[in-house]
Amino acid sequence: MTTPRPTHLHRRSSSKWVPPSAPLHNPISIFKGRSNRETGSRVIRPNHLFESPRYELTNYRDFTDNQISTTKYSIWNFIPLNIWHQISTKYANLYFIFIAVLNWVPFFDAYTRYVGLIPICFVLGTTLIKDGIEDYRRWKFDNQINKKTCHVWDRDRCAFRKTEWRYILVGDFVHISNDQDVPADIIMLRSSNESGTCYIETCNLDGETSLKQRMVPAKVVGYSKKDSTFKPSDFTGVVTCEKPDKSIYTIRAKVEYEPGQTDVIIKDNMLLRGSRIKNTTFVEGIVVYAGHDTKVMLNNGRAPHKTSGIEKLTNKFIIACFVMLLIMVIYGASASAVWVGDHPTNEQIPFILSNTPTPFIEGFIGIGAFFINYQLLVPISLYITVEIIKALQIYFISNDIQLYDSKSDRAIDCRSLSIPEELGTVTHVLSDKTGTLTENMMIFRNCAFDETDYGTQGSKSNPDQPVKCEELYQRINNSMHNPVQKHFFANILLNNSVVVNTIPHTDLLELGNFEGGVYNIGNSCFYDVTEEKYKAMLAAVGKEPTESDDVSRPDMLGLPTTITFDDRLTVIVEEDTPSESPIPEASPSLRDSPETATPTSPIYRPLSSLSSFSRKLSTVVRRSILRPISNIIPVRKRLISFKQQALNPYEAESPDELALIEGIALYNYVLLERAATSVTISTPEKAEKRYELLLTLPFDATRKRMSVIVNSPKGPLLYCKGADSAVMSRLTSESLTDPKIQTIKSHLDDYAKKGLRTLCFAMKYIPQEEFDDFLHSYKFLMEDSSTEREKMLSEKADELEKNLKLSGVTGIEDRLQDGVPDTLCALREAGIQVWVLTGDKLETAQNIATSSGLFHPQRPLKVIENEADAEEASESAGLNIIMSPAAIRLAQEGNSHLIEALRKAKTVLCYRMTPSEKATMVNTVKKKIKGNVLAIGDGANDVPMIQAAHVGIGIAGKEGLQAAMACDFAIARFKFLSRLLLVHGHWSYYRLANTFLYFLYKNANAVFIIFYYQFFCGASGTNIVDPIWGVIYPIIFTSAQPVVVGVLDQDFDDKTLMSKPEKYVIGRENQLYRWKHFFIDVVDGIYQAAVIYYVTHLTLFASDASLWEMGFYIATSSILVNSGHLALQVRYWHWKLVALFCFFIFFQFGYFFTECLTVGANMIPDPPVWMPIHAMKDSRFWYSQVITVIVALCPRFTSMCLLNSLKPGQKKN
């Protein structure tokens, strides 16, 4: 026996298992995993079946490992690859590089070579730094993900060992504890639940926060039994699956355990990476897809890049500028050649060398020189400046306190930085209904069965809670044995996917495990255990030491495996194998605990609140492990009652189902437990009743129904529920004429008119022989791995769901969000056409449309169901249109009459729409009606519609976060849409439209000054101003002012824009940014350039002023005129803006003073020392500046005065 070693403390990280010879990267992860080049099916054998070293396994060579990387660059390729991306995605950068290179050609160097590199280096460098910061953040996030841990089966140790996610391989057998994320795509093979089920949360996959049930394949349910001796080493099955794909809802795979023993794998057997284990102590399974091959990583493609209408038009304007540039270059080169041809002798030209080129060569050289001189006509600083403006606009939008919802504690989330101005040009809003216009807080309000309608109104003090209907309560208590009543409520309780929240579980494998004689406890440290203590541990559970003493699974040792609560929320530890032998203490720190483990000790006192549980759990569990098992009290898992209100007792994928289960609990019909093969309920008789589930026919969008088949004394009993159109059509022929059924149908119509969401419930008994035949056929189809399996299963279910008998109907309230009518009214007054797209029936949709204020009260209503209706509607304007499913198909087909009717309509309501039809309708409005579309929704089914629209708005609601994650802007409430569009959208459009026009004007102004000078320098391509100043002028001197104006300027304040929605027409009709505005501003720039040059030329005419002095005159006039031009555009003045204008005017002078004192003769010929002072001492300088500014700005100032006089408060259009 070994000598006991002293107890000492280690860092927990040192106990992580790093597989031997683990490489830095699996090459397949980089090449195969990212490009997905697999062509056939995967055949996967568990890794523990092979004796080869881990990183020589076939699964490692053929498939990607679990390490992920979402970065675009690496350290060694960042700079070249980033520059290449900038050049390949922004062709303007290629143009500017061409200009910079051209300046290095000796014949063409219009500027000093290094000076010509300043603009492009500034643009590329700024973007490179921004991209580098973004990529570094991605790397940090990837590192956090890759270093998460889980337990992986180690063949050599025959134990689960904690390791980081990045070391997981395809074929590994993994153990995942409660509340842990699933590290890869895994086929589930074992669960702590004896039924072989577990619950998962898929918020990271589809945005839905409700729990979903998963189960092990049918032939391995025995692995989960308590008496099972299964170990991962016993699993020898071979997995055959399809190559990786993006679909998170389908899987085509099978597991062959031995010849003739095969399970077809369905989506309910899969645990996908990113989902989280809930309400389950642990699950185990085999990895089939890892890393970049997992479905969540394959779906992590970027949302489609969206470009605003202003940017698209700007690109056309820049093309026009480039065409203008070519014309000016050709003209300048031709003029240069003609001039040289007219002056062939050098004697006439002082200081010219004798090797004067021919006219042709001079013209060729002139092309390069004029390209360099006129390069600013294509604005290089525009891209960077606009990105800065948009980022600052987004910052101010994000910090608008009026877009914050205190109830949900959510502010607006601007996920797109590229299209804030698009918010100001929306013409059509296409909105989902449920959860977008409504609260998506379903409340059980009405039901009807046995001819009688029962209903309640919401409480004024608490409208979000169901209210007991006394009449229904008395009816239930007085007729408990009424068969119609019993079947109706049993249908509601059994036929759903509601998950019962059982008591929380804690997997002790995660809290502690053995490794090499060391017992690791908790997440922070581990303690040494002597051999004597270890043998005592084994003796405590009736085992003898074996060769593999360092067993890592407490559940295999019979140690406590589950922490639960009793009815008083007391912490209790469940046991598997009780024993009288004590568990030895692991350290003095735990041995010296003041309490003794007894049920009445302070350790077992009721928790004052659940918040204290998180603080005390670790200590309680450790002490529980080390105290005598005889003192541990087993407890049956219970449902936490409604009265305790400590935890929500239910989780549901459908809020409708949750509302029904919570609503009927008020009448003592309570769902107690849901397992894979049974459901336990409580009835008003205070009796628990267990139903055996024979088969579940899940809901699908084609059938619009869900059914369960349970065992009953009379044989198999089918309970069916679904939409009225899907259930009523499946009733028996006798039911169609039954007066009772007709009465219930009338109640159903009344519910729809109230705007309630309706469901129908029906049933039928199935002969045993018929059910056996159906079950055999259905299971055969379930084992089919073809792509048509889901369709065939749906068709097969449809065969059974007929000749039904109606049990009853329900009405569920989904009330409107606050502010919806006012918002819709404001959007309508802004001239925006609002569409509501819903899957509800006509009556429900029409009632919601009326109560929400969607329909204009003074406009006629027109229902379009066919081509004749469409033709009639096309002759009128301003209609409120309702489109049936048939009309929706006509619109998608491009029916000319219907498109014309929709173009003229005031509002549009589409009912009975499927999710795929919503996205198609968005594209129809974009392409057929030529609208600028905003789509808004809150559910995962709205994502295609949101991404297809010009602007996508997501609402973070009860249907999850996927819509909010996939959108451009995420808001908490629909009512925020009006401020987002009418205020921030209008401001962003107004500011960016003026900014774009100012840049185009400013650059045209600078270029044409050089152009005019060519008439007086023999078209030599010489620049009139200092070349350094000419390069940095558009980047430094005149970029900050438009940034501030583009972020802070306002034509109207927010109160005016909200109270007068009609102002939105400025952006909706694009009144400020059209071709005419482009030509007006460019012509104005050309005119101002002529004034600047010729006033200076005439001022210095016949004087001895140098070229440098003349350039100083022109440079000063340029910044004064450009600043004055921008000042005339400003509508919202404040002291910061005034200070900024003054700063850059004085900075202009400071620059020239500094340059003239520091530039030497070795840098520039004839350095202009003290030139600015000499110029400013001359009164002609000041006279020329005043005259230039007045004459240059007079036309614009005069036109603005006339416009403001004729149309006060309006901008140019």
Answer whether 1034's CB lies under 8 Å from 1003's CB: yes
- Tell whether residue 240 is among the known ligand binding residues: no
- % helix, strand, coil for the chain, step of 5: 45, 15, 35
Dist CA 971 CA 657 (whole Å): 26
Answer whether 1099's CB lies under 8 Å from 868's CB: no
Residue spans of alpha helices (H) in 52-112: 58-62, 78-89, 91-102
Answer whether 1047's CB lies under 8 Å from 1040's CB: no
DSSP H or E run through 964: helix 962-966
With the C-alpha atoms ordered 63, 67, 69, 75, is the resulting torsion angle positive or negative?
negative
Dist CA 382 CA 379 (whole Å): 5
Identify the CA nearest to 490 among candidates 324, 362, 681, 307: 681
Tokens of 249: 């809802």
- Tell whether residue 721 is among the known ligand binding residues: yes
Partners of residue 263 on adjacent β-strands: 255
Dist CA 555 CA 513 (whole Å): 10
Tokens of 468: 């007991």
Report which DSSP code applies to 6: P
Exposed (0-12), middle (13-18) or buried (19+): which is 323, by Cβ within 10 Å?
A: exposed
- Tell whether residue 535 is among the known ligand binding residues: no
Phi/psi of residue 952, nearest 5 degrees: -110, 125
DSSP H or E run through 448: strand 443-449
DSSP H or E run through 719: strand 717-722
Answer whether 442's CB lies under 8 Å from 756's CB: no
- Tell whether residue 938 is among the known ligand binding residues: yes
- Tell whether residue 840 is among the known ligand binding residues: yes
Cα atoms in the 13 Å half-sphere on the side-chain side of 757: 26
- Tell whether residue 208 is among the known ligand binding residues: no
Answer whether 237's CB lies under 8 Å from 255's CB: yes
Partners of residue 427 on adjacent β-strands: none
Identify the CA nearest to 381 among candidates 671, 124, 622, 579: 124
Could you report how far apart the first and last alpha carbons of the chain are, in Å?
96
Active site residue 135: no
Tokens of 853: 């204020």
| Total Cβ atoms within 10 A of residue 53 | 11
Q: Which residue has the tokens 């890759």?
A: 146
- Tell whether residue 269 is among the known ligand binding residues: no
3 state SS of 31: helix
Dist CA 922 CA 945 (whole Å): 6
3 state SS of 669: coil
Radius of gyration of the chain, Cα coordinates, nearest whole angstrom: 38
The contacts found for 947-954 with CB under 8 angstroms, 24 or more apart, are: 947/303, 947/304, 947/919, 948/919, 948/922, 948/923, 949/430, 949/922, 950/306, 950/308, 950/309, 950/419, 950/422, 950/426, 950/926, 951/306, 951/419, 951/422, 951/423, 951/426, 953/977, 953/980
Buried b (16+ CB within 10 A) or exposed e, 226-246: eeeeebbeebebebbbbebee
Identify the CA nearest to 836 among candidates 773, 722, 755: 755
Dist CA 644 CA 565 (whole Å): 12
- Tell whether residue 434 is among the known ligand binding residues: yes
Tokens of 1050: 């306002």
- Tell whether residue 757 is among the known ligand binding residues: yes
- Tell whether residue 839 is among the known ligand binding residues: yes
Dist CA 1205 CA 1199 (whole Å): 10
Candidate list 263, 293, 432, 453, residue with the active-site label:
432
- Tell whether residue 700 is among the known ligand binding residues: no
Dist CA 1131 CA 1140 (whole Å): 16
- Tell whether residue 109 is among the known ligand binding residues: no
Specify the amino acid at residue 51: E
Answer whether 1118's CB lies under 8 Å from 1005's CB: yes
Answer whether 1189's CB lies under 8 Å from 1124's CB: yes
- Tell whether residue 714 is among the known ligand binding residues: no
Tokens of 587: 């350290």
Q: Which positions make up the binding site for Mg(2+)?
A: 432, 434, 938, 942
Q: Which positions make up the binding site?
A: 432-434, 657, 699, 721, 757, 838-840, 912, 918, 938, 941-942
Give the residue numbers annotated as catalytic, written as ranges: 432
Q: Which positions make up the binding site for ATP?
A: 432-434, 657, 699, 721, 757, 838-840, 912, 918, 941-942
